[in-house]
């Protein structure tokens, strides 16, 4: 099996370049994941840089672009990938080293939508109750693991990363905008009601296609726009 991996060490390389590694097919089983193969690559060359932690699709740290599509390597069966396997860092963000990117802008976009429940009065003795129907509305909007696979596959994010909020942050914003307990509904909508922050989304659905958790940021953004038109 051959893997071509994008390499870049800012201390010695002017631009990224590709390096091909060969892995013995006898080491590959039917349930081998791409991350397992990357560990084998690292046995050949310990300097190959990539992030990982949980190794089971929970932490969101091993997003990478594989054969042109963003994936989490730990839950991508190697048997589903056509060869040669071409691996690049998630697109649209600065490369720190090899497959490791600087996620600062992505996290800043998340922070900017105040991703926490705001209720009143602040009383730790009081429960903020929801009906089962109100709770059910949050399904599909709270399960995000912040892997970045969606935002870094979005053309609107690539071209206007400083203006467009990006699908992950907008999904997070929608999670609180539709929460019956949150009292900042109108403030949150007003903050996002701009031609660039939200309406730069063209619903091409790259984000939804890329999400390894099966979430649908594109639909959440569409619903967000509808709520803006109704409530503002």
Residues 87, 153: Cα–Cα separation, whole Å: 14
Taking the C-alpha atoms of residue 217 and residue 173, their distance in angstroms, rounded to an integer, is: 11
Residue 149 binds ligand SF4 (CB under 6 A)? yes
Judged by CB under 6 A, the chain residues 66 through 95 that form the site for ligand FES are 72, 74
Answer yes or no whether residue 62 interacts with ligand FES by CB under 6 A: yes
Q: Is 60 in the site for ligand FES (CB under 6 A)?
A: yes
What share of residues in the chain are helix, strand, coil (percent, to 5)? 35, 15, 50
Q: How far is CA 129 from CA 63, 119, 134, 180, in A?
A: 36, 11, 10, 9
Question: Is residue 54 a contact point for ligand FES (CB under 6 A)?
Answer: yes
Alpha-carbon radius of gyration of the chain: 20
Binder to ligand SF4 among 69, 202, 229, 231 (CB under 6 A)?
Answer: 202
Distance CA 50, CA 101 (A): 9
Nearest to 99 by CA among 48, 157, 43: 48
**144 in contact with ligand SF4 (CB under 6 A):** yes
Residue 145 in contact with ligand SF4, rule: CB under 6 A: yes
- Rule CB under 6 A: which of 99-128 touch ligand SF4? none
| Pair 164, 119: CB distance under 8 Å | no
Nearest-approach distance from CB 61 to ligand FES, in angstroms:
5
Question: What minimum distance in Å lies between the beta carbon of 157 and ligand SF4?
Answer: 6
Which segment (22-30, 91-99, 173-181, 205-213) binds ligand SF4 by CB under 6 A?
A: 205-213
| Residues of this chain that bind ligand SF4 (CB under 6 A) | 60, 144-150, 154, 156, 167-168, 171, 201-207, 210-211, 213, 215, 217-218, 221
| Residues of this chain that bind ligand FES (CB under 6 A) | 52-55, 57-62, 72, 74
């Amino acid at each position: 099996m051959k893997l071509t991996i994008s390499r870049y060490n800012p201390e010695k390389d002017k631009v990224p370049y590709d390096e091909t590694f060969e892995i013995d097919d006898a080491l590959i089983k039917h349930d081998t994941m791409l991350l397992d193969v990357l560990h084998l690559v690292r046995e050949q060359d310990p300097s190959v840089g990539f992030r990982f932690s949980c190794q089971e699709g929970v932490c969101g740290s091993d997003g990478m672009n594989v054969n042109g599509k963003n994936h989490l390597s730990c839950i991508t069966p190697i048997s589903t990938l056509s060869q040669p396997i071409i691996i690049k860092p998630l697109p649209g963000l600065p490369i720190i080293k090899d497959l490791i990117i600087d996620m600062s802008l992505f996290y800043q976009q998340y922070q900017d939508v105040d991703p926490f429940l705001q209720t009143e009065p602040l009383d730790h003795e009081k429960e903020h109750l929801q009906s089962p129907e109100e709770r059910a509305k949050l399904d599909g909007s709270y399960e995000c693991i912040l892997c970045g696979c969606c935002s870094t596959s979005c053309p609107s994010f690539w071209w206007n990363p400083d203006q467009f909020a990006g699908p992950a942050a907008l999904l997070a914003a929608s999670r609180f905008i539709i929460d019956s307990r949150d009292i900042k509904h109108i403030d949150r909508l007003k903050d996002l009601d701009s031609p660039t922050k939200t309406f730069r989304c063209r619903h091409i659905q790259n984000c939804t296609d890329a999400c390894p958790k099966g979430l649908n940021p594109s639909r959440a953004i569409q619903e967000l726009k509808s709520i803006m038109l109704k409530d503002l």
